[in-house]
Amino acid sequence: MSSAADTIVLKNGRRIVAANVVEEGDRVSYETSAGKLSIPKSIVSRIEHDNLGSSFGSNSRSEPPVSAPQVEPVRGYDDVVHLTIHDNLIDFAYIARLESDARSNSRVAVEKVAAAHHAAAQFLIGKGDINSAIDHYRQALSFAPDNLGLLLNLSVLYLRQSQFSNALDPLEHARRISPDSADVAKLMGWAYYGANKMDRAVEEWKRAEHIQPDTEVEHALDKALRDKAEEESYREGETAHFALKYSGSATPDLARGILHALEDDFRDLESQLDYTPPEPIAVILYTDQAFADITRAPSWAGAINDGRIRIPVQGLSGVTSELAHVLKHELTHSFVGQKTHGRAPTWVQEGVAQWMEGRRSNNAAAALVEMAGQGHAPHLEQLEGSWLGLPSGAAATAYAYALAAVESIIQAGGVGDISRLLDRIASSPSMDSALRETLHSDYADLDQQTITYLRNEYVR
């Protein structure tokens, strides 16, 4: 979008920069990259028309609002870096030797461990393996818990994955170690912004600006203030549990229908999963094109939940049965994500979401049993991480298998077992122990139970 920008000045002094600002009856409407929004004219003081081109465009918070600072955890260990990464591989034996030296607690030995894990993490980031990079920083922090560079690098990886509350843990620790760090304030602002806590984001970025003025933070702060104003003035589409934003091609009828369906789903999930999310859930309806641009999701993902429920609704005028399934599915992700503090493996998330939306294994059972017979069945343990990189065939199998596993758990112990498993995932050190504590089984048992269930239930 490259049209001229106008500024809507609200009576409370806040300013919304937008394109195509039009007065329509008792409302003022304007365009954003997420579509057309409108606010009551009664709260608008004036509209300033600006004929200069503007850089207005992205209203998306999946783009990082600020850049990540480059912080080296330690300096002067080039030799360690070269011994850690060589021949395009990580030398785990070398890292293990450094860790064993570091148990003597000598400062230099601990610094070498930090340098080695930082090098390994950066190498893995280059390969796109963010989860393993996170593991390296966590491991390094077990030796050097107060290393500011390690804490900041770890938080940036969580932020890049939209794991905003996970990012806050290392950042809060970093704040205690270094209360006057502008980098800590900048990244905390990012975490709160991503988590839709505009007040806290504004507070942190003001703090960062106070410690060390920076034009990038200044722009982010402006944007957060605008978003805060927009969200405060845009009251349409709010219910007790949801805050909905929608694009120009979505009708108010569709928006109301969606909120109604979501409220019903909310009550159902609340009782089935024995959990109530503490904060309203943000829902954004997109036209298809805007959706692909903003989320960069692979084409097989119909909708996405990255903390906000994002749903493509192009061409819809009411809640079709397909859309109803999508809403229940995505809302389940919000419940599971919040109940487990973001720690649910992907197979749990997708298995429970599909089960709640009403999907069952009848179509996929025969193929999965056949794969198992040939020794090619998937393993749940390998379906813990992100599936966004999977080719579509492998993704389809992963979804089907995750559903089958959840179905077999519910058949054996009821949906209460899922609720208890989610509680354990939130608090257990590993998925293995969560499985043992609630289902008295391990991954191998559960793989076997799943295939046996499919065979008995569907394949005869």
Residues that bind Zn ion (CB under 5 A): 350, 353
Shortest distance in whole angstroms from residue 329 CB to Zn ion: 6
Is the dihedral angle over the CA atoms 299, 303, 305, 306 positive or is it negative? positive
CB 132 within 8 A of CB 95: no
Shortest distance in whole angstroms from residue 23 CB to Zn ion: 41
Shortest distance in whole angstroms from residue 430 CB to Zn ion: 23
Minimum CB distance to Zn ion smaller for 115 or for 303: 303
CB 147 within 8 A of CB 141: yes
Comparing C-alpha atoms, which of 353, 356, 352, 351 is closest to residue 368? 351
3-class DSSP assignment, residue 110:
helix
Q: What is the DSSP string of 321-358?
A: HHHHHHHHHHHHHHHHHHHTTT---HHHHHHHHHHHHT
Minimum CB distance to Zn ion smaller for 258 or for 353: 353
Comparing C-alpha atoms, which of 334, 358, 333, 354 is closest to residue 241? 334
CB 311 within 8 A of CB 285: yes
Shortest distance in whole angstroms from residue 330 CB to Zn ion: 7
CB 82 within 8 A of CB 104: no
**What is the distance between the alpha carbons of residues 444 and 179, in angstroms, rounded to a whole number?**
47
Shortest distance in whole angstroms from residue 424 CB to Zn ion: 21
Question: C-alpha 377: how far from its chain's center?
Answer: 29
Shortest distance in whole angstroms from residue 452 CB to Zn ion: 25
Minimum CB distance to Zn ion smaller for 106 or for 392: 392
Q: Which alpha helices (DSSP H) does 23-106 contain, by range? A: 78-84, 92-102
CA dihedral 407, 411, 412, 417 (to 10 degrees): 70
Shortest distance in whole angstroms from residue 244 CB to Zn ion: 19
CB 196 within 8 A of CB 283: no
Minimum CB distance to Zn ion smaller for 393 or for 429: 393
Minimum CB distance to Zn ion smaller for 187 or for 353: 353
Tokens of 34: 């997420």
3-class DSSP assignment, residue 245:
strand
Minimum CB distance to Zn ion smaller for 91 or for 306: 306
Minimum CB distance to Zn ion smaller for 280 or for 302: 302
Minimum CB distance to Zn ion smaller for 353 or for 380: 353
Shortest distance in whole angstroms from residue 403 CB to Zn ion: 11
Q: Which alpha helices (DSSP H) does 73-214 contain, by range? A: 78-84, 92-102, 107-126, 130-143, 148-160, 164-177, 182-194, 198-211
Minimum CB distance to Zn ion smaller for 184 or for 353: 353
Shortest distance in whole angstroms from residue 328 CB to Zn ion: 11
Measured at CB, which residue is nearest to Zn ion? Answer: 353
